[in-house]
A = this chain, B = another copy of it.
Amino acid sequence: MRLSHMMEDMARDARDASRQLRRMGREQKDDALRLMAKRLLEHQEEIIEENQKDLPLAREVGLSPAMIDRLTLSPSVIADMAGGLREVAGLPDPVGEITGMWKRPNGLQVGRVRIPLGVIGFIYESRPNVTVDAAGLCLKSGNAVILKGGSEAIHSNIILGRLLAEALKETGVPEKAIQVIPTTNREAVNILIGLDEWIDVIIPRGGEGLIRFVADHSRIPVLKHYKGVCHVYVDQSAPLNMAEEICFNAKVQRPGVCNAMETLLVHEAVAPEFLPRMVRRFRDAGVEIRGCPRCLALIPDIRPAEEADWPAEFLDLILAVKIVTDMDEALDHIETYGSRHTEAIITSDYGRSQRFLAEVDSSVVLVNASTRFNDGNQLGLGAEIGINTSKLHAFGPMGLEELTTTKFIVYGQGQTRK
């Protein structure tokens, strides 16, 4: 009961702060962002000290060394966080942009103007640098944010939230624009997603379990992505060297992320030439291959793929491989097993490149480029708060603009409806 009262107060404060943020000019928001960066650097010893309190518990609950590494704050990680805030300060302010204006026959001038969403509830796991990134993006786009990080990072998140809020206050921005929920109580997530009177959007970031839970139980609209089961289709006309480089990059460069390739589809005409050398290179890099029966006929010593491998997001050095008879079979496979995240075709055929772009129903569809480019920074949005694989609001990576919406403004001279 006490927790829910505290969180209602936080949400109400966020709503009040968002009302002030709405009309705040770019300069003041950018000043705050730069001071936030400065404060992080000035207080890095204190941050590291608090971060050290998180690490023993993280080891105790059995987090993997890789997870503990991502949790650990060093001077260079803190410098990166500060650099990120300064970068966001340098990006254009999406708020106030007039996206269109037109005149109606009765003389009304109707326009659309970009406005912040309002209050964002951001739920995430582990890495404390996400606290700083999300706070910066929300502030720049004129939104108040309530941050619920993982319990492993609670001390780190609390100190970061305090430093950021102090910087806000010093620059005349309401300090309640950035609030960290100061508890490891898991009930806080349940409460947060029920506060629909004050919160406009929930953005969860983390494992599929967390995201499904939030999406299934939230009374507030959710922007989410469940998983990335990304495909590369190597067409019969593919330049095979290019195909090899792109497939290798898509699988190996960073296998644990959502835009890594999980399934490789190869046209039967090039499979005999392409697959043996590609598989050899993957195996040299430690990638386990799980192949369809036709793959096995070509390369007998690979593991047979099971049905469960086709819709799987391995997030690891594992790759499902299937030989297809034609592009239709590739498109059907993607339609059946894909997650609408990212798919690429490697081809030198103009018509098939166009058909793939038109027919694949994913947030990012690429020709002759790595799936790893599905990322707000890489696509030129400037920054990214997450990737949305539901089609509403923003399909794909979400940058500053995607943290806004538009309202209609109407200039009249006394018009009434007939």
Contact = CB atoms under 8 A, between A and B. Distances in A.
A223 interface: yes
Interface string A335-364: 100000000000000000000011101111
Contact of A412 (B22, B369, B412): B369
A325 B43 CA distance: 47
Contacts of A392: 117, 200-201, 221, 223, 392-393, 405
Interface in A234-256: 239, 242, 245-246, 248-250, 253-254
Contact of A366 (B246, B249, B412): B412
A140 to B, nearest CB: 17
A216 interface: yes
A70 interface: no
Contacts of A394: 405
A333 interface: no
A396 B104 CA distance: 17
Contacts of A369: 108, 410-416
Contact of A406 (B222, B366, B372, B395): B395
A219 interface: yes
Contacts of A254: 417
Contact of A417 (B215, B219, B358, B372): B372
A409 to B, nearest CB: 5
A26 interface: no
Contacts of A364: 407-410
A370 B417 contact: yes
22 contacts: A19-B361, A23-B358, A108-B373, A108-B379, A110-B379, A115-B395, A118-B361, A201-B391, A221-B222, A249-B416, A250-B416, A363-B407, A364-B410, A365-B409, A367-B410, A367-B411, A368-B412, A368-B414, A369-B410, A369-B414, A369-B416, A396-B408
Given A364-B410, A373-B415, 16 more contacts: A22-B361, A102-B380, A104-B378, A108-B373, A221-B221, A221-B392, A223-B392, A245-B414, A245-B416, A250-B416, A254-B417, A368-B411, A369-B414, A370-B417, A379-B410, A393-B405
